[in-house]
Amino acid sequence: MILIFMLAFDPMIQQILSYPSTPTIAAADTIAASVPQLRYIGTGLTETDLYSAYYLGIWSKSFNITPSCPSGNCTWQNYRSVGLCSQCSDITSTATLDCPKPTHQGYATQWGPYLDGNCKVILPQGQSSNTNLTFGYPRGQKPEGTPDVITIDANTVWEVASYAAYEDFFFSNQTLPNKVYSNVENPLMTLAQASLGFDNGVIAHPSNLWEGVVIKNVTQCSLSYCVQNYNVSVTEGKSIIEKTSTDFGKTFVPPKSPYADSTCWRPNESPNDTVMPAPETVPMTNNESMIMPSRNATEFAFCYNQEIMPELLVGSVNTSYIKKKQDSKWGSDNAYSGTENLGRIFDLGLHVIMPRIAESLTLANLQGPNSTNLPGTIYTNEVIVKVQWAWMILPTLLVIMGNLFIVCTMYASRKTILWKSSILALLFHGLDDEAAAKRDQCTASSRMEKLAEDMHVQLQSSESDEHVALCER
Ligand SMILES: *[C@@H]1O[C@H](CO)[C@@H](O)[C@H](O)[C@H]1NC(C)=O
Ligand SMILES: *[C@@H]1O[C@H](CO)[C@@H](O)[C@H](O)[C@H]1NC(C)=O
Ligand SMILES: *[C@@H]1O[C@H](CO)[C@@H](O)[C@H](O)[C@H]1NC(C)=O
Ligand SMILES: *[C@@H]1O[C@H](CO)[C@@H](O)[C@H](O)[C@H]1NC(C)=O
Ligand SMILES: *[C@@H]1O[C@H](CO)[C@@H](O)[C@H](O)[C@H]1NC(C)=O
Ligand SMILES: *[C@@H]1O[C@H](CO)[C@@H](O)[C@H](O)[C@H]1NC(C)=O
Ligand SMILES: *[C@@H]1O[C@H](CO)[C@@H](O)[C@H](O)[C@H]1NC(C)=O
Ligand SMILES: *[C@@H]1O[C@H](CO)[C@@H](O)[C@H](O)[C@H]1NC(C)=O
Ligand SMILES: *[C@@H]1O[C@H](CO)[C@@H](O)[C@H](O)[C@H]1NC(C)=O
Ligand SMILES: *[C@@H]1O[C@H](CO)[C@@H](O)[C@H](O)[C@H]1NC(C)=O
């Protein structure tokens, strides 16, 4: 019965052991996982790096860091990193238009487009736009059939708060302007985009076509330093990067010289009395020395002299409105697309481009020399031997039952003479002649056993014969 069970179990023996692989934390000294982290924005980027970051911001759309994870499965604790962030606001309702009445001076005798003046888009604070308008009506002798034309800079991006003016303010007043643009105080750069249109319906006096110029939309975006929370993990080789809780921080002037001539930035989370260490002085080759901006990396605070490039983003494109002789209304004609960069900005809108530039600048800094590597936890797959204990019950029982069976058999058969051919017959055959005499009396094995009980034999040379035999002692 037991044997039959054994046979039945045999093909299933494979079920007991399996070899699954489980993720295990790899020893840190063999392989390394890392993500770049910025504890301050340094001077490590060249002008070329900045140019390419701006262009990437305009033309690209993905600016994610690439964590290094050799096993394809890594995690990092949530961490903070400094970067640049942008915040935009729709200020259409607060913007006003200031179009001075045309002076009608300097009319040329030839018909053609003339720069007749500019319409300013005036914002609650900061620079207003300088939007050009040209007016092709009515002037001089116009060729027959040529329509009247009005050309407006329909889309303009301009610098609302310039960094240069901000620095001038700081150097002359030793304090910061502390103006807030798009909810950011003392931003590095503030740009606005205005789109203007031309509306026949609002022209009250046909002689004053300027009345038809209307504001369609004004968006303002600020660029500033910020600290963001990163939640990074890599699963099956795929990086998951989440950025949360943007802290726009505060621009401040550290108390006391020698740092008084620099502006510094710290996150809101850092104490308002964050200590900025004395700046290092780095000797240069030409017997001069350079003062490195001070930083306090533990508090994510740093002093800066940021190079910004608003000139890559500002400009305008014009749209023409025409009226042929037979028309009663002005119709839209053609829109110039401007430079490629401007075309892209107006296509997507400043509120899309500015956050991309901020992300691109952050990535450039993360890839630059002033970032640090943050180690993570690596998971590698290790094969383990897994025993299915439930499947072990049957073979274990079989072994126990088999052993019990043997013990029981031994106990039950302790009195019985084992059913087995006796070796006495073989031994008796080898007795020497003397003992063999007794042997011959035996007719049954029971008699032979009895005889053997009283007989003590030893292997020695026989006296009678010349060979070795069992002799009785
Ligand atoms: C940033 O990196 C540059 C280039 O390696 C280095 O010269 C500079 O000391 C670093 N730190 C700061 C604060 O700029
Ligand atoms: C307005 O036109 C003048 C002359 O063409 C040009 O120099 C200036 O840059 C234009 N302004 C804007 C805001 O485009
Ligand atoms: C210094 O501050 C005053 C008052 O706020 C301001 O009018 C002036 O323009 C500032 N100086 C500069 C160079 O901006
Ligand atoms: C202005 O443009 C922004 C971005 O395209 C848009 O979200 C907003 O609704 C527009 N505002 C108006 C008044 O059209
Ligand atoms: C971080 O990301 C992981 C996976 O996306 C998520 O499970 C976890 O809750 C996140 N942690 C925090 C603090 O947001
Ligand atoms: C990666 O590691 C996590 C963490 O223990 C684990 O849950 C997951 O199954 C692993 N993924 C792979 C593909 O190894
Ligand atoms: C710093 O913050 C504390 C508490 O938030 C406040 O009492 C103190 O006036 C602040 N100091 C300065 C210099 O702003
Ligand atoms: C950074 O700021 C903290 C808080 O003010 C201060 O305790 C620490 O000493 C500063 N670190 C350096 C290097 O100055
Ligand atoms: C170099 O620096 C030393 C010490 O500051 C000064 O005496 C010397 O005139 C400098 N030489 C030049 C060429 O500027
Ligand atoms: C409109 O823009 C184009 C391209 O920038 C320029 O060449 C043209 O002179 C502008 N037209 C007027 C009337 O300003």
Q: Report the chain's C-alpha Rg in angstroms.
A: 49
Q: Pick from 234, 242, 245, 377 the residue to mutate for probing ligand 5's pocket: most ligand atoms within 8 Å of its CB.
A: 242
Q: How far is it, in rounded angstroms, from Cα 60 to Cα 58? A: 6
Whether a cis peptide bond, with omega within 30° of 0, leads into 258 is yes
**Res 434 pLDDT > 80:** no
Span from the CA of 370 to the centroid of ligand 8 (angstroms): 19
Percent of all residues in the chain with a pLDDT value above 90, rounded to a whole number: 30
Residue 378: in which H helix or E strand, if any? strand 377-383
Q: How confident is the model at residue 423 (pLDDT cuts 50, 70, 90)?
A: confident
Q: Is the CB of 343 under 6 A from ligand 10?
A: no
**Res 226 pLDDT > 90:** yes
For ligand 5, atom 3, which residue shows the shortest CA distance?
A: 231
Atom of ligand 8 nearest to the CA of 298: 1
pLDDT (tens digit per residue) in 191-211:
999 998 888 777 776 666 777
Atom of ligand 2 nearest to the CA of 315: 14
pLDDT at residue 293, as a whole number: 83
Percent of all residues in the chain with a pLDDT value above 70, rounded to a whole number: 84
* Ligand minimally distant from the alpha carbon of residue 240: 5
Is the separation of the CB atoms in 127 and 162 below 8 Å? Answer: yes
With both helix axes pointing from N to C terminus, report the angle between 47-59 and 350-366 in degrees, rounded to the nearest 10: 140
- Please tell me the total number of residues recorded for the chain in this structure: 473
Span from the CA of 282 to the centroid of ligand 9 (angstroms): 15
Q: Is the CB of 168 under 6 A from ligand 3?
A: yes
DSSP state of 212: G
pLDDT at residue 465, as a whole number: 64
pLDDT at residue 106, as a whole number: 46
Mean of the per-residue pLDDT values of the chain: 82
Instruction: Write down the number of H helices and E strands in the chain.
Output: 9, 27
The partner residues of 301 in beta bridges, in order of sequence, read: 296
Q: Which amino acid is at 296?
A: N
Residue 376: alpha-carbon gap to chain centroid: 13
**Res 391 pLDDT > 70:** yes
For ligand 2, atom 14, which residue shows the shortest CA distance?
A: 316
**Res 4 pLDDT > 90:** no
When pLDDT is averaged across residues 206-222 and rounded to a whole number, the result is 84
For ligand 3, atom 11, which residue shows the shortest CA distance?
A: 169
Q: How far is it, in rounded angstroms, from Cα 450 to Cα 129? A: 134
